[in-house]
Chain A
Amino acid sequence: MKKEKRQNAAADILRACLKNKAALIPGIIILIVIALSVFGPLLTHYDETSQDLLNRLMPPGNGHIFGTDELGRDVFTRVLYGTRVSLLVALLPTALAVAAGCAAGVCAAEFKGATDFIIMRLADIMLSIPGMLLAMVVLYTLGGSLTSVVISLVLIEWGGIAVVVRTATLEIRESEFVEAAVSTGAGRFRVMMRHILPNLVPTLIVLFTLNIPSSILSESGLSFLGIGIQPPDVSLGLMAGSSRQYLFQMPHLALAPAGMIMVLVLSFNFLGDALRDILDPGRRTL
């Protein structure tokens, strides 16, 4: 019974997504990008790290869709592999940060007093340090790798999410339906699980999708500066960074990864906005 209900709710949302062009188009673009990065090796016969020093800095064409870079590597192949990293960095730390921020925010709002004070001052401290600076400190201490990029992004993002979730939770706690639930005998835990968390979902989805682009951009920025993902690993930001000295001669070297970053960021932004409208039953137009 419960399972059947869940599936139907998911089907409702899916149906609403298919009807809504603002959700459908970025959704399809994101699916294509995911497919490209997953099935990348099947689409190209080049290797992302193999060098061909005789064919350095080739313009697009000649079997290289986006040309080759300063070491003769195929840019198209490298964009596909770089997108993998960007997607991973888009989803994993953002999901972790939303989970951590949500837990912290709900706890702060629910337990009040000292718990609230400690969690919120911790979040304030995190928010008062510029994100890039914080990430640099983490990356210098732990060394540049995918893991340390994930850790630093979670550290940057959880504070802001916790603050928003706390406010939203306080607002929901004051609403009449929570009062009504308490008057029917619902305990604290049940109110939290059945009434507060479901009503936080639209907020969490907006926070999630708004933080995905900033995660992508932060990773790109850190890798561009040379402290994020380290070669021989590939990342879109790293590619944009290493191609900047050829910006005037070979702009496609920078445009290919930058274009992919832009497509990803915009798609997630639009999808987030559309999902928020769909998930709010009050605004749903079925």
Chain B
Amino acid sequence: MSDILLELKNLTVSIRRDKEDIPIVKGVDIAIPRGKIVGLVGESGCGKSMTAKSVMGILPGAARVSFGSILWHDPDGTVTDLTGLKEKELRKMCGTKIGMVFQEPMTSLNPMMRIGDQVAEVLLIHKLVKNRSEARDKVIQLLNEVGIPEPELRYRSYPHELSGGMRQRVMIAMAVICEPKLLIADEPTTALDVTIEAQILKLIRQMCEARNMSAIVITHNMGVVSRLCDSVYVMYMGRIMERASVRDLFSNPIHPYTRGLLSSIPRIGENSEYLKTIPGNIPESEKETVGCEFCLRCSEDERRCFFERPEETEAEEGHFVSCFTAGPGNEVHHE
């Protein structure tokens, strides 16, 4: 039994526009170890949600996985490539082996269905219960576990009768009711306020630990990463820029982009007129770059970044960076 649960290998997702394939995710390698929480960080439009959706097979219309593989490792050693599965087989995996929590708890529940029925629906889809009343008992037990007060009463509520935090708890219940091995959380707390965010993060952590479940947490919030994750992948324009354990990344960020992200976090007591930002904008993704994707906004003054893409190098043990400024023999020579 390998300790890797899910492996994305050279995953490329493209959007077809005007008979041309525009890559959104460009050859990403991610490995999710069993029972660990992995963060995927990056700014809006960098392809982090697309990466997650490609795992679930719910990419929007024009997008598709054009290259690479998504390998699912079962405990008995069998490996399945999710990109090669038929729609029906993939739907069977979703829910039972992989659960997903979405960004917007206000719109990700069906407004015409009682929340209890919505959670029970998942059990009924996969025929994991004999009848509705058995499903009901299971759902009430789980609603209680995710911290919904008076679950018997709340079972009959419609989504609009619940607060955002409560709805996100219902979403989590929906995602984990079939005891999946992997939870994908796509910006789970972006739409919530800070106190609720802390509670939800704690809940996700608890759920993962209690079930030995792995998780991919997609976020643009470095604070979420530091509180929740074991390891982090930093993504920029469809590529992984840096990956490391949370401790290593926060104590020793190497890639200029990661350093920019971390120094952009405002600190209390800091007396500056402006918030720190990374200069420049995300370039239009249609234009294929030869060099490093970040070269236009990079603080380092290095010529070759414009013509050559840096390979991923191991800067320290378990800490990988795609930048010429990192790694042995790759130091930037300032003149």
Contact = CB atoms under 8 A, between A and B. Distances in A.
Contact of B107 (A2, A176, A201): A176
Contacts, number: 84
A179 interface: yes
Contacts of B92: 185
A194 B113 contact: yes
Given A184-B175, A185-B92, A282-B160, A179 B102 contact: yes
B99 A184 contact: yes
Given A179-B102, A185-B125, A199 B112 contact: yes
A1 B102 CA distance: 30
Interface residues of B, number: 36
A284 B161 CA distance: 10
A185 B109 contact: no
A205 to B, nearest CB: 13
B126 interface: yes
B94 A185 contact: yes
B74 interface: no
Contacts of B117: 5
Interface residues of A, number: 24
A2 B107 CA distance: 25
Contacts of B108: 176-177, 179-180
Given A183-B56, A184-B121, A281 B112 contact: yes
Interface in B84-114: 88, 91-96, 99-100, 102-104, 107-114
Interface string B236-261: 00000000000000000000000000
A108 to B, nearest CB: 16
Nearest to A187: B91
Contacts of B315: none
Contact of A195 (B93, B96, B110, B114): B110
Contact of B125 (A175, A184, A284): A184
Interface string B52-65: 00001010000000
A190 interface: yes
A186 B58 CA distance: 12
B202 interface: no
A182 interface: yes
Interface in A152-205: 175-177, 179-187, 190, 194-195, 198-199, 201
B132 interface: yes
Contact of B110 (A181, A183, A187, A284): A181
Interface in B150-204: 158, 160, 171, 174-175
B224 to A, nearest CB: 20
A186 B113 CA distance: 15
Contacts of A183: 56, 58, 94-95, 99-100, 102
Contacts of B110: 177, 181, 194-195, 198-199
B133 interface: yes
B102 A176 contact: yes
Contacts of B93: 185
Interface of B: 56, 58, 88, 91-96, 99-100, 102-104, 107-114, 117, 121-122, 125-126, 131-133, 136, 158, 160, 171, 174-175
Across the A-B interface, give the 6 residue pairs with the lowest CB-CB distance, nearest first.
A185-B95, A198-B112, A176-B108, A184-B95, A183-B100, A176-B107
18 contacts: A175-B107, A176-B104, A176-B108, A177-B107, A177-B111, A179-B102, A179-B108, A182-B94, A183-B58, A185-B92, A185-B96, A186-B121, A186-B125, A195-B113, A198-B112, A199-B110, A282-B111, A284-B160
Given A185-B94, A186-B121, 8 more contacts: A176-B104, A177-B108, A180-B102, A182-B91, A183-B100, A185-B93, A185-B96, A281-B160
